[in-house]
Amino acid sequence: MKHASSNRRFVVVLMALGAAVVYGQKSPRLSGAVKVDGSSTVYPITAAAAEMFSESQPKVQVTVGISGTGGGFKKFLEEKPELRTDIQDASRPITAPELERAAKLGVEFIELPIAYDGIAVVVHSSNKFCDHLTIAELKKIWEPGSKIGNWKDIRDGFPSLPLKLYGPGTDSGTFDYFTEVVMGKSKACRADFTPSEDDNVLVKGVEGDAGSLGYFGFSYYEANRAKLKLLAIDNGDGQPVKPDSDSIGKLAYRPLARPLFLYVNKAALAKPEVKGFLDFYLSNAKKIVEHPKVAYVALSAKLYEFVAQRLAAGTTGTVYGGPDAHTKSLNELYSVGDK
């Protein structure tokens, strides 16, 4: 698998998960390659699934890349079919321009929600003066043309300390989602910050700068909680909320709680190794997603059952066409009843 800096973490994960994962009945021996790319936020889940799948299917090579959700969709929708990835990790739904390109290329895809995540807003571990920020303050900091370069300009009582910003790059689905819910427009953001599609780079940046402020997927905070300080977020109701499995799963951490997705090229399902990997992934998703070393929030049993049926039926397209789709739950969007 790619990205060796992250792999060591998942070797430990797999050793811990090994006894807990239910593999089900014996599957036929498969061979071949499965190509996955996209979101660094979804990467920990898919990487763990790929490693565990290799235990029962050692002749299948599953490669998992990190190029951000936008960068991954570019590979998923390559002009030449032989260059396309089979599966796309995404921390946001597919966009209108990506839908247009898929239609132009004749790429049919299956949209599969896989977990919930919260965007963690973090500062340097030595920061004693800031325990929470409001969405309005985040907008003031990150909006296009913002001149805020010192903590004292954010809120009365904050000290004079140069502000250094770290955030996902413009190919990241986390960047798209954060800018949409904070600024009200996707990709609307100041340009003078340190960007990266690799959340590990952002963690190191925030860790190394006393005046830092950054954001990325909650799992990366969980893996580095001793090095960072997590902020609560006030959505405007005067009640700051910190992300954790409970607040994310109940969508109380608004508006920075969000679903994560897999997008599957329907044509790739004709390959037994791709179908086998996805069946394995969905069968064990809850155990993988909920494990402390992976640290995301699992969907309900009913939603996972629905997702498996969606894959088995080959149901293509997205439910995110409407303007208010982001305000609805997965159960509402996919017309799935409660637990």
Confidence (pLDDT) at 249 = 85
Tokens 């300390």, located at residue: 161
| pLDDT(147) > 60 | yes
Pick the CATH number of 4-116+259-332 from 3.40.190.10, 3.40.50.20, 3.90.1150.110, 3.40.50.300: 3.40.190.10
Confidence (pLDDT) at 323 = 67
Three-class SS of residue 320? coil
pLDDT band at 291, cuts 50/70/90?
Answer: confident
* Average confidence score pLDDT of the chain: 90
Give one DSSP letter per residue of 243-308, joined into a string. --HHHHHTT-STTTEEEEEEEEEGGGGGSHHHHHHHHHHHHTHHHHHHSTTT--BPPPHHHHHHHH
Q: List the domain boundaries for the chain.
A: 4-116+259-332, 117-249
Arithmetic mean of pLDDT, 137-147: 97
Q: What is the pTM of this model?
A: 0.81
| Residue 216 CB-density burial (10 A; 0-12 exposed, 13-18 middle, 19+ buried) | buried
Could you tell me which residues come within 8 angstroms of residue 264 by beta carbon, excluding any fewer than 6 positions away?
Answer: 86, 87, 88, 109, 110, 112, 274, 278, 311
60 near 53, Cβ under 8 Å? yes
**DSSP-derived secondary structure letter, 163:** -
Of 9-13, 93-97, 139-143, 206-210, minimum mean pLDDT range: 9-13
Q: What class has domain 117-249? A: alpha beta
Confidence (pLDDT) at 5 = 41
pLDDT band at 327, cuts 50/70/90?
Answer: confident
Task: Give residue-wise pLDDT tens across range 47-92.
Answer: 999 999 999 999 999 999 999 999 999 999 999 999 999 999 999 9
Confidence (pLDDT) at 338 = 60
Is there a common fold for 4-116+259-332 and 117-249?
A: yes
Confidence (pLDDT) at 17 = 53
